[in-house]
């Protein structure tokens, strides 16, 4: 599920930090009313989000990622990657789209 973490970070998912006078920093994230996690570190929250996320199985989760990839500013090699994204949607193949999204994000991150 490391790829789900990659996607979540690309989509801007991150923990919220609050200060508890007894426990110190509390890290949390919510997809209310479906999921809520509170931990003592960002890493643990991101691990929980990664396990919860459904990018690999849900069109509802994956299509906003597809949209963000399609409208991300140009970088070298993006035409071929965008073609793979479009073809996967046309074929209605969620596994191909997931792989295409992951490849797009990896290439995008490598150039940043």
pLDDT at site 88: 96
Question: Which residues constitute the domain of residue 72?
Answer: 54-112
How far is residue 41's CA from residue 17's CA, in Å, rounded to a whole number? 9
> Of 53, 70, 86, which residue is a domain's last?
53
pLDDT at site 79: 84
How far is residue 13's CA from residue 19's CA, in Å, rounded to a whole number? 20
Reading the chain (112 residues) residue by residue, the pLDDT tens digits are 789 999 999 999 988 888 765 667 788 888 888 898 988 888 999 999 999 999 999 999 999 999 999 998 877 767 889 999 999 999 999 999 999 999 999 999 998 8
- 107 with 58, same domain: the answer is yes
- 75 with 35, same domain: the answer is no
- 28 with 62, same domain: the answer is no
**pTM given for the model:** 0.85
- 10 with 20, same domain: the answer is yes
Please give the tally of structural domains in the chain: 2
DSSP letter string, 32-55: TTTEEEEESSHHHHHHHHHHH--T
Number of C-beta neighbours around residue 34 at 10 A: 7
């Amino acid at each position: 599920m490391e790829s789900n973490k990659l996607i979540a970070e690309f989509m801007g998912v991150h923990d919220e930090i609050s200060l508890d006078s007894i426990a110190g920093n509390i890290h949390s994230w919510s997809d209310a009313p479906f999921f809520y996690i509170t931990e003592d570190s960002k890493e643990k929250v991101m691990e929980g989000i990664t396990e919860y996320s459904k990018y690999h199985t849900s069109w509802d989760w994956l299509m906003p990622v597809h949209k963000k990839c399609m409208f991300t500013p140009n970088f070298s090699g993006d035409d071929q990657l965008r073609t793979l994204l479009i073809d996967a949607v046309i074929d209605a193949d969620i596994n191909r789209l997931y792989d295409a999204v992951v490849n797009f994000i990896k290439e995008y991150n490598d150039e940043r």
